A = this chain, B = another copy of it.
Amino acid sequence: MEKKYLFSPGPTMLPPEVLLKMAEPIMHHREPEFEKIFAEIREGLKYLFQTKNEVLIFTSSGTGAMEGAVSNILSKGDKALVIRGGKFGERWGEICKAYGIEFIPIDVDWGKAVDPKQIQKALESNPAIRAVYTQASETSTGAKHPIREIVEIVKKHEETVIVVDAITGIGVFNIPMDEWGIDVLISGSQKALMLPPGLAFAALSDKAWKFVERSNLSKYYFDFKKELKSAQKNQNSFTPAISLFVGLRESLHLIRKEGLEAVFRRHEKLADATRAAVKALGLRLYAPDSPSNAVTAIKVPEGIQGGKLKSLFFEKFGITVAGGQDQAKGKIIRIAHLGYYERLDMVMVISALEMLLKEMGYAFELGTGVKAAEEILME
């Protein structure tokens, strides 16, 4: 019998009730019925983002909202500070480059969190920096950046905003937008939101909206101002991915029913259990100092090929885990636990890891990882 499991950090496994909702006959996006759904979604997203401001919705990959956070926030001649601690940090730099924005990179060793002091220093010595771009959780390395501390530093600069890609952060751990004072907060549908890919989200602080007012870079599809006006009428500016909206209402209901705090606790427990299992198996974390609760990156032990391990996960158990990208290629595997995951899901994937490692000749006692996980999952 063949069963398939996703443990990749997006797309993630989806609740059948969300899948089935999306399979209902499609409705028209200019009918009151859809506008009612849109209104519910707006409320649900504000709850999830912990903001009183509007959360904009775009039909695109998360990258679309990232691009919008450059093209709507900055103006010609503005400078940016880009935290590059992995593949997605690099993306911020690529987008700035595409828009002719000069950026100062802070290159962080993969698997590490950025040191906020470096940001403070960069801002002090480059008063022309108008925006700091970072990830909350760097999906490619499994490291979490200290957003709260970064925000505190950026806040002191009236003419600078902090833009946080929380595509694998929102709905995983606490990032209270308004309370902390984040200026731009971004997410996507295929992560903790338990939906297929295809929707991107962006929320802006009042300070960020002022930047939008003066921004003179080219934009059309990802025009934040236009989208804000549409959202206030429970509409999208352009034909939205209607079926994903219908699914989104459903998944926001699930999140609300569980409650944000419980959602964060669940992710913490799953991540803790995964990390405990990894250590019990004598393996090492790729981001040991500041691991994200979204995804656990595990160093592949010596003598074992990372690519082979990833392939065997799929061949032998139907499980998709992620490998490493670029400089981490072949060196790590990444096991995600964000979204529609529960305790026993982690037991499955850890057990599969054990059986595969044993088969590949790695020396340890079978069951050790699962035992360590269970001790935490039982708490």
Which one of A14, A25, A94, A188 has the greatest number of beta carbons of chain B within 10 Å? A25
Q: Per-position contact with B for A1-24: 1 when CB-CB < 8 Å, else 0?
A: 000101010110110000110111
A244 and B241 contacting across the interface, CB-CB below 8 Å = yes
Q: How far is the CA of A221 from the CA of B66 in the complex (A)?
A: 9
Q: Which residues of B lie under 8 Å from residue A95 when comparing CB positions?
A: 220
A241 and B98 contacting across the interface, CB-CB below 8 Å = no
B238 and A196 contacting across the interface, CB-CB below 8 Å = no
A314 within 8 A of partner (CB): yes
How many protomers of this protein does the assembly include?
A: 2
Closest B residue to A4 using CB positions: B25
Q: Which residues of B lie under 8 Å from residue A99 when comparing CB positions?
A: 218, 220
Closest B residue to A314 using CB positions: B31
Q: How far is the CA of A313 from the CA of B190 in the complex (A)?
A: 36
**9-residue interface stretch from A55-63, A249-257, A300-308:** A55-63
Given the known A-B contacts A196-B241, A239-B10, are A220 and B98 also in contact in the complex, defined by CB atoms under 8 Å?
A: yes
Q: In the complex, which range does the number of interface residues on chain A fall in?
A: 35 or more
A11 and B100 contacting across the interface, CB-CB below 8 Å = no
Q: Per-position contact with B for A219-261: 1 when CB-CB < 8 Å, else 0?
A: 1111100000000000010111111100000000000000000
CB distance from A2 to the nearest CB of B (A): 12
Q: Which residues of B lie under 8 Å from residue A241 when comparing CB positions?
A: 61, 196-198, 241, 244
B25 and A23 contacting across the interface, CB-CB below 8 Å = no
Q: How far is the CA of A243 from the CA of B23 in the complex (A)?
A: 11
Q: How far is the CA of A240 from the CA of B198 in the complex (A)?
A: 7
Closest B residue to A219 using CB positions: B98
Choose from B23, B240, B320 the contact partner of A197 (Cβ within 8 Å): B240
A71 within 8 A of partner (CB): yes
A239 and B11 contacting across the interface, CB-CB below 8 Å = yes
Q: Per-position contact with B for A189-224: 1 when CB-CB < 8 Å, else 0?
A: 010000011100000000000000000011111110
Q: Which residues of B lie under 8 Å from residue A30 when comparing CB positions?
A: 8
Q: How far is the CA of A25 from the CA of B5 in the complex (A)?
A: 9
A23 and B28 contacting across the interface, CB-CB below 8 Å = no
Given the known A-B contacts A23-B20, A198-B198, are A238 and B63 also in contact in the complex, defined by CB atoms under 8 Å?
A: yes
**From residue 88 to 108 of chain A, which have CB atoms closer than 8 A to chain B?**
94-95, 98-100
CB distance from A352 to the nearest CB of B (A): 16
A220 and B94 contacting across the interface, CB-CB below 8 Å = yes
Q: Which residues of B lie under 8 Å from residue A42 when comparing CB positions?
A: none
A218 and B221 contacting across the interface, CB-CB below 8 Å = no
Q: How far is the CA of A98 from the CA of B220 in the complex (A)?
A: 6
Q: How far is the CA of A238 from the CA of B91 in the complex (A)?
A: 11
B10 and A25 contacting across the interface, CB-CB below 8 Å = no
A27 within 8 A of partner (CB): yes
Given the known A-B contacts A31-B320, A196-B243, A242-B11, are A218 and B98 also in contact in the complex, defined by CB atoms under 8 Å?
A: yes
Write 8 A-B pairs (CB below 8 A) sorted by A numbering: A4-B27, A6-B26, A19-B26, A22-B22, A60-B238, A98-B218, A98-B223, A241-B244
Q: 7 tightest CB-CB pairs across the interface, nearest first?
A: A198-B241, A23-B23, A61-B238, A196-B243, A98-B220, A28-B320, A63-B238
